[in-house]
């Protein structure tokens, strides 16, 4: 086999030119694209990490808010319970007082009514006794008894002084 030096030189020059051209117009842009992509991926990863961190932060904040909200709700609920209890107690006391007052009024009314009835009964009884006594006296006192009474009254008249 015969080696053609010129051809070899030509081939070397040709390869060099090709290499130069490849380097200038293919390798660099591809490298640039790759670098850009790598950067994009890196940025994306960073963004994802940041996003995860943000999310975790948000989750933490959310939990904190929830805990605080629960705590607040619990406090509000407790306060409401206490107020309700207080109100219930006040209402009970008021109701008891009103009941007591009503009972006293009722007692006073009943006592007054009883006294009135007692008084009325007493009056009726006295009136009845007096009327019966009068009637009995009228029936019992005949002319004979009347004369006796008149005689006694005349005797008593002697002791009466008219000025």
Partner 1 sequence: MNEQHLVPTIRARADVLTAVHLTKSEKNDISRILETSAGKTLAVNFHVMPEVIAGISIRIEDQAYDATLRTTIEFLKERLFA
Number of residues that bind partner 1 (CB under 8 A): 26
CB of 4 or CB of 163, closer to partner 1 = 163
Rounded Cα–Cα distance for residues 130 and 137 (Å): 10
Residue with tokens 């009228």: 138
Rounded Cα–Cα distance for residues 62 and 147 (Å): 121
Q: Is 153 one of the binding residues for partner 1 (CB under 8 A)?
A: yes
Residue 2 token pair: 């015969």
Q: From the list 26, 52, 91, 137, which residue makes contact with partner 1 (rule: CB under 8 A)?
A: 137
Rounded Cα–Cα distance for residues 74 and 70 (Å): 6
Q: How far apart are CB 106 and partner 1 at their closest, in Å?
A: 29
For 54, phi then psi, to 5°, come to -60, -45
Rounded Cα–Cα distance for residues 54 and 48 (Å): 9
- Give, in order, the Cα–Cα distances in Å from 8 to each of 13, 15, 18, 19, 153: 9, 10, 15, 16, 192
Q: Is 117 one of the binding residues for partner 1 (CB under 8 A)?
A: no
* Interface region with partner 1, contact rule CB under 8 A, candidates 26-34, 51-59, 60-68, 133-141: 133-141
Q: Is 139 one of the binding residues for partner 1 (CB under 8 A)?
A: no
Q: Is 126 one of the binding residues for partner 1 (CB under 8 A)?
A: yes
Contacts of 51 (CB under 8 A, 6+ apart): none
Q: How far apart are CB 112 and partner 1 at their closest, in Å?
A: 19
Q: How far apart are CB 138 and partner 1 at their closest, in Å?
A: 6
Residues lying near partner 1 in the complex (CB under 8 A): 122-123, 126-127, 130, 133-134, 137-138, 141, 143, 145-147, 149-151, 153-154, 156-158, 160-163
């Amino acid at each position: 086999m015969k080696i053609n030096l010129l051809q070899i030189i030509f081939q070397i020059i040709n390869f060099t030119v090709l290499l130069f051209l490849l380097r200038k117009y293919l390798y660099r842009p591809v490298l640039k694209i790759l670098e850009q992509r790598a950067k994009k991926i890196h940025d994306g990863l960073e963004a994802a990490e940041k996003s995860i961190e943000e999310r975790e932060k948000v989750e933490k904040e959310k939990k904190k808010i929830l805990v605080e909200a629960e705590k607040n709700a619990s406090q509000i609920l407790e306060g409401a319970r206490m107020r309700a209890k207080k109100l219930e107690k006040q209402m009970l006391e008021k109701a008891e007082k009103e009941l007591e007052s009503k009972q006293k009024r009722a007692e006073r009314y009943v006592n007054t009514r009883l006294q009135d009835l007692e008084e009325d009964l007493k009056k009726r009884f006295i009136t009845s006794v007096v009327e019966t006594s009068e009637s009995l006296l009228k029936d019992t006192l005949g002319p004979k008894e009347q004369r006796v009474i008149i005689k006694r009254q005349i005797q008593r008249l002697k002791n009466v002084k008219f000025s």
